[in-house]
Structure 1
Amino acid sequence: MAVNVNLVGNVGKDPETKTFQNGGSVTSFTVGVSQGYFDKRNQWQDQGTMWLEVEPITQGAKSQLQYVHKGDKVHVSGLLSQRFFTRNDGTQGTALRVAAQTLSFIHRQPKDQQAGFADNRNGYTGGYSGGATTQPAAAPPEDPWSQPPTDFGNEPDPEF
C-alpha cells in the first residue's frame, strides 16, 4: 500500500547527488514543512518543522532539479516512505522520504508588493496601495469587450 502526499515547504539545502559503487546515483534534497495550528483565539501554535528527504523519480520532476535551490518554496507530490539507518555513532535513525512524482515552485512576491499586488500586464496596477487606488488602463478601442453590453438580454428567447 502506498501513501500519497502533497506538501508545501522550503528547500533546506541544494540538491546533492550520491553515486554508489554499482554506478547508480540518486539526487535528493530536503524540504522543511512547518507544523502547527491556529487555536481558538486565532493564534498560531508552532509545533516545529518536519524535515523530509525528496527524491524526484519521474522525468518531469527530475528536469526541475536544476532550478531547486536552498530557500525555494516548493510543492511536492509523491509517495511517502520511511527509511531506517544506522548513524556513525551506532545509534538507529529514521527519515521520511518522498519519491516525488511532481515538483513545482511557489513564487514569492517581492517585499515591496507583499501588502497588496501589482499586475503590470496591460498597464493595470491594483490592490492595496496605502489608501490610494489606481484604475485599470483603458482598453484599446478595437477591443470588442472593452465596453459593457447594453442590451442585457432584452431580445426574445429563440424558439426551439
Structure 2
Amino acid sequence: MSDTGDTITITGNVATAPELKRTTGGVSITTFRVASGQRKYDRGSGEWSDAGTNWYTVSVFRRLADHAFQSLHRGDRVILTGKLRLREWDNGTKRGTAIEIEADAIGHDLLWGTTTFVKDGQPAGATPTEGSAHTADSWALPGQR
C-alpha cells in the first residue's frame, strides 16, 4: 500500500452497509464503501451533467469505528476527511488500484437532511435538559462554565 501523505475531504453516499470487526486486541474497525459523484457545469448549455463516480473504501478505528457503525447506514449522505491511501492489486486475471481512506472524522452531510447528535454518556433518545442546549457555555471544557 502506498501512502500519498495527503489528507482528503469528500462528500458522497454510503454505498455498503458498514461492517464492524474487532482485532484480537479489542480494537474496533468499521469499513464501508462511499460513492462520490462528480458533476460539472457546461457553460455552453447552461446545465450540470454527471462526470463519473469515484469509489472509496473507508476504514475507521477505535471509538470513531463504534460511532460510525451505530450512526451510518447504506444510502446516508456523508462528509468525511482522512488519509488517502492507494493500493495496487492483482488477482491473476485483473490488475487495478484501490483507493482507500482512513477516516479521521465523519458526519452526515446536512445539505441533504438533518441528524440528531448524542454525546457519549448521554442515553440514546434522551432530550436535552434545560440549560444543556447548544450554547457557547455547553461547549466549554469540563469544569469551565
Q: Which one of the candidate residues 68, 75, 81 is aligned to 1:77?
A: 81
Q: Would you say 1:11 and 2:14 are equivalent positions? A: yes
User: Which aligned pairs between 1:72-151 and structure 2 lie closer than 5 A?
Assistant: 72-87=76-91, 90-107=93-110, 108-109=112-113
CA positional deviation for 1:21: 9.2
Q: TM-score, normalised by structure 2?
A: 0.62
Change (3 A) 1:58 1:4: farther
- Once residues 43 and 17 of structure 1 are traced to their aligned partners in structure 2, the CA distance between those partners, rounded to angstroms, is 41
Q: Sequence identity, in percent?
A: 29
Provide the aligned C-alpha RMSD in A: 2.9
Question: Are residues 23 and 29 of structure 1, via their aligned partners in 2, closer, same or farther at CA, if it must alter by over 3 Å?
Answer: same
Which stretches in structure 2 are left out of the alignment for 5+ residues? 115-145
Deviation at 1:82, TM superposition (A): 0.7
TM norm structure 1? 0.57
* Matched residues, number: 109
Q: Which portions of structure 1, spanning 4 or more consecutive aligned residues, are displaced by more than 6 angstroms?
A: 19-25
Q: Is the 8 A contact 1:58 1:100 kept in 2?
A: no
**Higher alpha-carbon Rg:** 1
Asked if 1:30 is matched to 2:33, the reply is yes
